[in-house]
Each structure stands twice: as C-alpha cells, then as structure tokens.
Chain A
C-alpha cells in the first residue's frame, strides 16, 4: 500500500517537473526547431515540426561570415580565462596556504570591485581604448575580460585550494620531498580539479559577457555577443536564419554548461553554498 502511494507520488511529481522543465526550456527548443525550418515555414504560425533543412546554417556560415565572430569568442573567452588563471593561481595559493589577518579583507575587497557598475567607467575606458588604439582589438578586450573576471577567479581558486589539507604537505616533507617534488607530485594533482572547474566556469562567463564586448568592438574583434546584438533591428524574413545563428552562438557553451553544472553552484556562490 505504502509502495503504491510512493509510486503515484513519484509519477505526479515527474509529470509536474517535466511540464515546468519543458516550459523553461521551450524558448531554446523553439529556436532550435525554427532554425531547421524554411523562412516561409518559420513565420507560418506555431509548429514544432520543421521540414528539417540545414539550409539556414549553410547560409549563415557562408553569407554573414559567422566564423569570424565565433573565432573571436573562442579566443577572447579562452585567452582571458587563461590570463586570469596565470595571475590568480599564485594569489589564491598564497591566501589559502599562508593566510594572514588581512586575507579575508583582501578577498572581500576584490569581490567589492565587482560591485562597481560597468557603465560608470564606460566613458574613461572608452576614451582610453580610443587613445591607445585598442577599440575593436582582441588584445584590448582580452585584457578587459581578464580584469572583470579576475576577482571571481581568485575567489573560486581560493575556495578550492583551501580544501587541500596542509598536513599532506608536511607528510611529504617528512618523507624527504623537496619543494619541487612537493609541487609536482603532491600539490598539482590535488589542485587540478579546482583549476579545471574554475577554467570551465570562467570561459562560460567570458563567452556570455555582453556589455564590454558589444561596446568596445565593431567588426574585427566582435565576438558572438556583438554579432547577435547587431541583428536587433526587425528581421522581416530572416526568422529561420536568425534562429540558426542563435543556435550556433549558444550551443557550444550550453554543452559546456551541462557538464559544469555540479561545480556551478559552489563556483558562483564562492563556496557559500555547496
């Protein structure tokens, strides 16, 4: 009897959960479906069954030079993340393994720089970029993305490094390991998972950053965010092509995101929720 109730409960919960999940996912699903329709089909009213053409993807690839913003997105997000990691790893390391009274304050201060509204410094950054010839350059934007994500990278690494037990280092030292051996054989293997999660999450954040990437680029360095934002004027008969471009812009990061969802929570809450 009890078992029957549990099964019924599970079925009811399942039905509701799937309905909610499908409603939330619907806009993405519908974009994917529309991208596989022909243009007349796309504006012919609601339908979840496309004719299954890949024509839009081919058109977007060949005609609107999709590859360039895509390459820019990859370069900017990966480049800025690696740069941020190089700068952040030593800091997080020092904070985690030789903390002082001020470590917590420094971490809070770093986080507080994220509170500064980006738009408040739009004017000076824009003018500096213009004067140094950095507008619409990948280098300028990579530096920019590195700086805005640096506090999060330091924080995330810090929360991961802090969990590496200090005793294990002592044990290694007792066994006669030198500093170099300590780093290569003991610390690195333990730190790699944390660094990998940070890398993944930060690539996602950098890929989707949509203020500086839109404002500081025009064509050469424009990543997918700027490319897609340029479609904002009404697109009359380009519904299906727009859907194809949108699908390609979000697909890589969506898949990365699915793999990183476990680390997402602790990463984005700076270890406050696990």
Chain B
C-alpha cells in the first residue's frame, strides 16, 4: 500500500514537467507539419489553401537549399574539428604544473560566457574588420593587404567565431577528464620507457574517448542551430555563401513571409537533426554505459 502511494505521488510529481514538454514538443511540430502542406503567405493571409508537396518541391529545388545544407555541415564539422583538436592540446598543456593555474583557467573559459551577438560583434569590429581590426593592423605591419574576412571568407570567418566560443567548453571538459586519469598509471608507463607520444596514443587518448564523445554530442546540438553569429556578421551573405539551414528557414519565414515554405524547411531540418541524433546517440550509447 505504501509503495503504491509513493508511486502515485512520484507520478504526480513528474506530471508537470512531462506534460509541459510533451505539449511543447507536439503542438508546434504538428503546426509546422500542417503549414508545410499549405499555401500560406503572411502577405496574403486570406488565400490559404492546400498545396500538397509543392512547398517541399520549392524548398528542395531551390539552389540555396543544398548550399545551406553544405554550409551547415561545414560549420558543424569545422567547429568540432577545431575545438576537439585544440581542446585536447590546450587541456594537455593546462594539465601540466604551471604558475597561476587558476587565472589561466579563468582566461581560457571566459569566451564561453560571452553571448553570441557580442562575440560576433567583437570579432566583426575589433578583430576582423578590414580597416580597424587587429588582423588588419597585423597585415599592415607586415606590409600586406588587409583581408576583408566577411566578404572573402564568410563561412570560414563564422567557423572561427563559433569555434572561439566553444573551444573553452571542449577544453574544460577534456581537462576535467584528463585530471581524473590515474597518475600512477602514467608513472608506470613512463618507467616502462613509453615516450610522450606513446603515452598519448595508448593511455591518454583512450581515457579521453568518453569526454570527446560528450563534447561532440553536446556541441552538435548547439552547432546545428548557429544563428546569431550569422545574423550579426554576414547576414547569410554574400549571396547565400554563409547561410546555414537555420538561417535559410528564418529568411524564408520572416523575410519572405512564406509560412508554407519555411515550414517545409523546418520539417526537413527536424528530419536531418533526427538522423544525426540517431547516429550520435548510438555512438554515445556505446561510450556512456
């Protein structure tokens, strides 16, 4: 009887968050699905009618669509590569005994707390600006022509900014994992004559596998939806050169007033995110239990 009561109580306690998340997941998604089959433009809200798969066809045949998928992949993979490789290197460095460890950690972790629009503005104006940025100052000092980063390498510039924001996250997690590595094991390997390279490959890297998986999983969730950085710096341009899928949907919905088209894009984004999520969950599942 007592256990029965506890179970009912437990269900009651869980109900609010489960119900809220259920509604939050189903209602907007069902609406997006519904809109994606409608001819619905905000500029002529009176003329809403069934469109069949027309919205999907339009979205799919738009050359911007494939470019935006490609750009999304470039941003996700580029940032993951920089943050994981850089994160391991910096974590190895910070794991050494150093003077002022506390302050160094604080400096390294800081970019993670900078809100995306500010991060983008800082890089756009202070660092990468072709006239007044620090990169331009360096180029002038070396007698080179300053690079107009956002015009010449828009996607690469965004990858750099986003990587700067996420590098601290990767570093901190990898450093935490590194510090849990058994010191005695390292010493034993050293005594047995394993050099730094061997110790790294056979001891450190396998130990870091779980942390790396977690970093990839969590960052991917956020990197698929990079938005503010693009909005503030290139606004998706030039042309569609730095438009990712998230930004393309925003463009279609709120700049093109095309509810149907944007919804079709939204459904495509959900499908893609799920495919990636399934792969990730499988990979992570192997590492997490």
Which residues from chain A sit less than 8 Å from chain B, CB to CB?
6, 9-11, 13-14, 16-18, 20-22, 24-25, 27-28, 30-31, 34, 42-43, 45-46, 87-88, 90-91, 93-95, 97-98, 100, 106, 110, 112-128, 147, 150-151, 154, 204, 207-208, 210-211, 214-215, 224-226, 228-229, 231-232, 235, 239, 242-243, 246, 249-250, 253-254, 256-258, 261, 264-265, 268-269, 272-274
Contacts and interface: CB of A to CB of B under 8 A. Distances in A.
A114 B113 contact: no
A116 B194 CA distance: 46
A254 to B, nearest CB: 5
A10 B277 contact: no
B277 A115 contact: yes
Contact of A10 (B98, B180, B274): B98
Interface string B234-269: 010000000001100110011000010011001101
Nearest to A246: B118
Contacts of A269: 173, 211, 214, 218
B117 A123 contact: no
A237 B247 CA distance: 29
Contacts of B225: 117-119, 211
Contact of A28 (B122, B131, B134, B173): B122
A191 to B, nearest CB: 14
B107 A25 contact: yes
Which size bracket describes the interface of B in this complex?
35 or more
A117 B18 CA distance: 19
In the A-B complex, the 8 residue pairs with the smallest Cβ-Cβ separation, listed nearest first, are A124-B31, A120-B266, A90-B13, A121-B28, A257-B113, A210-B228, A13-B96, A94-B10
Contacts of B7: 98, 100
A233 to B, nearest CB: 10
A229 to B, nearest CB: 4
B21 A119 contact: no
Contacts of A128: 28, 31
By secondary structure, the B interface counts as: helix
A30 B25 CA distance: 42
Contacts of B11: 94
Contacts of B267: 120
By secondary structure, the A interface counts as: helix
A87 B20 contact: yes
A225 B262 contact: no
B274 A115 contact: yes
A16 B224 CA distance: 33
Given A14-B100, A42-B132, A46-B137, 15 more contacts: A25-B107, A30-B127, A46-B138, A90-B17, A100-B7, A120-B273, A121-B31, A122-B262, A204-B113, A210-B117, A215-B254, A232-B117, A269-B211, A272-B214, A273-B214
Given A116-B270, A147-B20, A273-B176, A228 B115 contact: yes
Contact of A90 (B14, B27, B94, B277): B14
Contact of A31 (B6, B113, B122, B137): B122
Given A46-B137, A117-B270, A124-B31, A24 B17 contact: no
B98 A242 contact: no
Contacts of B97: 6, 9-10, 13
B116 A210 contact: yes
B169 interface: yes
Given A265-B173, A269-B214, A250 B114 contact: yes
A46 B41 CA distance: 49
Interface string B102-132: 0111111111111111111111111100011
A257 B31 CA distance: 37
Interface in B12-30: 13-14, 16-18, 20-21, 24-25, 27-29
Interface in B58-109: 90, 93-94, 96-100, 103-109
A232 B97 CA distance: 42
A21 B115 contact: no
B270 to A, nearest CB: 5
